[in-house]
Amino acid sequence: MGARAVAALAAVLVATAAALGAPGAEPGAGDPGDRYGRARRLMVDAQIRGRGVADPAVLRAMAEVPRHRFVPEPLADAAYADRPLPIGHGQTISQPYVVALMTELLDLGPGDRVLEIGTGSGYHAAVLSRVAGEVYTIEIVEPLAERARATLAELGYANVRVRAGDGYRGWPEEAPFDAVLLTAAPPEIPPPLLDQLAVGGRLVAPVGVAFQDLTVIRRTPTGFASERITPVRFVPMTGEAAGRHADDPSRK
């Protein structure tokens, strides 16, 4: 999306945010120097808690992490609106409710180790870092990975490690993980990611091509149990996942 398109979208979304209680209407709300504090509280109350997300740690993380720092500057005032936003390179930051729902579905504890595939802006990794112990996140678009690494470091999220590369094969040297999260949709879950999931852990991912389902897979002592949660729409997982799907004769 070009600069003019981003600016045009920003104008529309800022107007929407204003109608919902835009942060600029109440400078200084929330933490000292944080004019977006009120917008975050409204986001949590209306978009997240109001739709059934109840995990106190997730709600607290969503209320603390400054989402406006993870979107392009022209869209900062729209960061807490109920919709995804473009972050460049054809990628998006998911709407707040989806971030919260996926985090809750992971059922994280404070000492858990999480693998995230699809860092994007780094926002979801920041949320995970407030709920879990360690976060390992991989982004295939190198400029996004570098930007996310810089943002996370600047904001002090020291328990997040960012790697630029294809997430299909995960991060084997740091496995097993208590939870695995995919923020881009593969046609099917890459086997290496299932292999790197600890027994008792959960993997949460959008799965599908034309139609996607948010899916939870739990590893048991004897195998895997899968549950479809709700239809979703995510950007497709690229790299090896897309290549394997294209090369599969049964799908042609």
The secondary structure of the chain as a DSSP string is --HHHHHHHHHHHHHHHHHTT-GGGSTT-SSTT-TTHHHHHHIIIIIIGGGT---HHHHHHHHHS-GGGGS-GGGGGGTTSSS-EEEETTEEEPPHHHHHHHHHHTT--TT-EEEEE--TTSHHHHHHHHHSSEEEEEESSHHHHHHHHHHHHHHT-TTEEEEES-GGG--GGG--EEEEEESSB-SS--HHHHHTEEEEEEEEEEEESSSEEEEEEEEETTEEEEEEEEEE--PBP-THHHHHHHH-GGG-
- Nearest-angstrom CA–CA distance, 163 and 100: 23
Q: Sort 84 into a burial class: Cβ within 10 Å, 0-12 / 13-18 / 19+.
A: middle
Q: Which residue has the tokens 């976060």?
A: 135
Instruction: Please give the positions annotated as active site.
Output: 94
- Nearest-angstrom CA–CA distance, 11 and 1: 15
Q: Which residue has the tokens 């995990």?
A: 55
Q: Which residue has the tokens 């109440």?
A: 26
